[in-house]
Amino acid sequence: MKLKNRFIRSVTWEGMADSSGGLTDRLIKVYETLAQGGVGLIITGGTYLAKNSTTLPGMAGLYEDSAIQDYRKFTDMVHAHGCPIVLQLAYAGRDGEMWNPSSPSKNDIKSVVKVFGEGAIRAKRAGFDGVQIHAAHGYFLSQFLSRQSNTRQGFKGRMGSEAF
């Protein structure tokens, strides 16, 4: 990806989406202002990928194909200002409850992989230039990186030699 400069708008939580995770005029205006202002790259706020996987009010969601058309208009608007945009994919867990990474079933893990894959496909179809995977702040993936929540045998934490 070629950027016009090194000014990157990193991920922040805006809390401006509607109750179903849809884009609002207020949220779109934030991104339009950034793109018009000459930012070299925009990374969106965390966007939830499964209808039952949000923990923050006003968090944007791209969990159904029906939202792709609205997101396509959104990315087209950002691109009209010569700015690429990356969607951050976020998965909190089912109904905002985290699984214990020390004992997920293979089916649990496969379902999360599927959710991220579907999210990446939706992002591409919606015109995003890339995706970033959220793996921090206690969300599902970050639990696999923590010795406190991941007690699987052989796991030594983020700096250990036996991560997975």
**Within a domain: residue 2?**
no
Domain with 23, as residue range(s), is 8-143
Cα gap 145→87, rounded to integer Å: 22
User: How many structural domains are present in the chain?
Assistant: 1
**Within a domain: residue 109?**
yes
**Within a domain: residue 157?**
no
Q: How many CB atoms lie within 10 A of CB 48?
A: 26
pLDDT tens digit sequence for 87-104: 999 877 655 555 556 666
**Within a domain: residue 161?**
no
Which one, of 153, 102, 5, 119, lies nearest residue 51 by Cα?
119
**Within a domain: residue 160?**
no
Please give the structure tokens belonging to residue 92.
Answer: 């909190």
Q: What is the pLDDT of residue 72?
A: 98
CATH number at residue 86: 3.20.20.70
Q: What is the pLDDT of residue 162?
A: 44
| pTM of the entire predicted model | 0.82
Cα gap 75→31, rounded to integer Å: 9
Helix (H) or strand (E) holding 26: helix 25-36
Distances (CA, A) of 85 to 141, 145, 158: 23, 27, 29
**Within a domain: residue 163?**
no
Residues (pLDDT < 50) of the chain are 159, 161-164
